[in-house]
Amino acid sequence: MPELPDVENKKQYLDATSLHKDIRRAEVKDDSVLEVAPQTLKKHLESQSFEDTARTGKYLFAAVDAKWLVLHFGMTGGLSYAEDSGSIPDHTRVLFHFEDGGRLAYTCQRMLGSIDMTDHPEQFIDQHDLGDDALQVNLDTFRDILNSKRGMIKTALMDQSTIAGIGNIYSDEMLYQSHIHPKTKINDLDEDQVKGLHGHMQRILNTAISNQADPEEMPDSYLIMHRQEGASCPNGDGTVKRIEVSGRGCYICPDCQQKQ
């Protein structure tokens, strides 16, 4: 569940469960998610502790020693804390064992997540060409960013170098609520539509965060629980349709989202 709201939730989860605890051991179960050597990870983590966290887009950073641990969750990554260090969730790739007997598991079913280390989040963001975090982008910046790009609006919203944090699900939600067809060219958007998109982006992301990014807890008016060909539009008489945009399955209500 790894778009911005999911990752923000994982940040809060890490803060609540694992901050300031001595890390006795970093146990690598599967090094294929590691962007650094297992020894490097161990060297910087063991006998240290997570002292602070930060998030940009879909990346979670945890300050440790003089470095920052970088967690990315791919499509299926997660964090799971337990008091009992002996229990190991399915698909655990790395375990952080704490002095008090608890442990934090980094899980990833499909191996699309990654664990890295960096001197500083800003350096990592530069190196990976990440745009500003979606919740930090004000309307003026949003307008400027869009004006600097061409192509389809959905593609731009999902491009992490444009704005960081929005993926397939939430770009669909923003476009649905803004009544904009995903294939609309950026140049064809008028000022009201840009303003609407920005407002919906902020509101949807904040709503999702306060609902633990759980689709079932989202308002009934949202598209998120109706992502199925033939489902009925929660706000009208339309029927949800699946189209393909940028190689991703994209759900729209053709009644609400007229093509320009």
Which residues contact DNA by CB under 7 A?
Answer: 1-3, 6, 32, 57-58, 72, 74-76, 109-112, 128, 149-152, 155, 158, 160, 167-169, 227, 242, 246-249
Q: Which two tokens stand for residue 188?
A: 């064809």
Q: How far is the CB of 6 from DNA (least distance, A)?
A: 5
Is the Cβ of residue 74 or residue 254 nearer to DNA in the bound state?
A: 74
Is the Cβ of residue 48 or residue 211 nearer to DNA in the bound state?
A: 211
Is the Cβ of residue 60 or residue 233 nearer to DNA in the bound state?
A: 60
What backbone torsions phi and psi does residue 62 show, to the nearest 5 degrees? -130, 120
Q: How far is the CB of 160 from DNA (least distance, A)?
A: 5
Beta strand ranges found along the chain (DSSP E): 23-28, 50-56, 59-64, 67-72, 77-82, 92-98, 103-108, 114-118, 132-133, 163-164, 241-245, 248-252
Q: List b or e across 122-145, with b for residues whose CB sees 16 or more CB atoms inside 10 angstroms.
A: eebbeebebbbbbbebeeeebbeb
Q: How far is the CB of 237 from DNA (least distance, A)?
A: 23
DSSP 224: G
Neighbour tally for 172: CB within 10 Å: 25
Q: How far is the CB of 59 from DNA (least distance, A)?
A: 7
Is the Cβ of residue 23 or residue 135 nearer to DNA in the bound state?
A: 135
Let me know: does 22 contact 47? Beta carbons within 8 Å: yes
Q: How far is the CB of 126 from DNA (least distance, A)?
A: 12
Is the Cβ of residue 88 or residue 111 nearer to DNA in the bound state?
A: 111
Is the Cβ of residue 35 or residue 51 nearer to DNA in the bound state?
A: 35
Let me know: does 52 contact 62? Beta carbons within 8 Å: yes
Is the Cβ of residue 48 or residue 246 nearer to DNA in the bound state?
A: 246
Q: What residue has token string 């694992």?
A: 18
Sign, CA dihedral 33-224-240-245, equals negative
Q: What residue has token string 């904040």?
A: 206
How many Cα atoms are found within 13 Å in the side-chain-facing hemisphere of 85?
A: 15
Q: How far is the CB of 216 from DNA (least distance, A)?
A: 11
Q: What residue has token string 């009934």?
A: 220
DSSP 180: -
Q: How far is the CB of 179 from DNA (least distance, A)?
A: 20
Q: Which two tokens stand for residue 7?
A: 């990752």
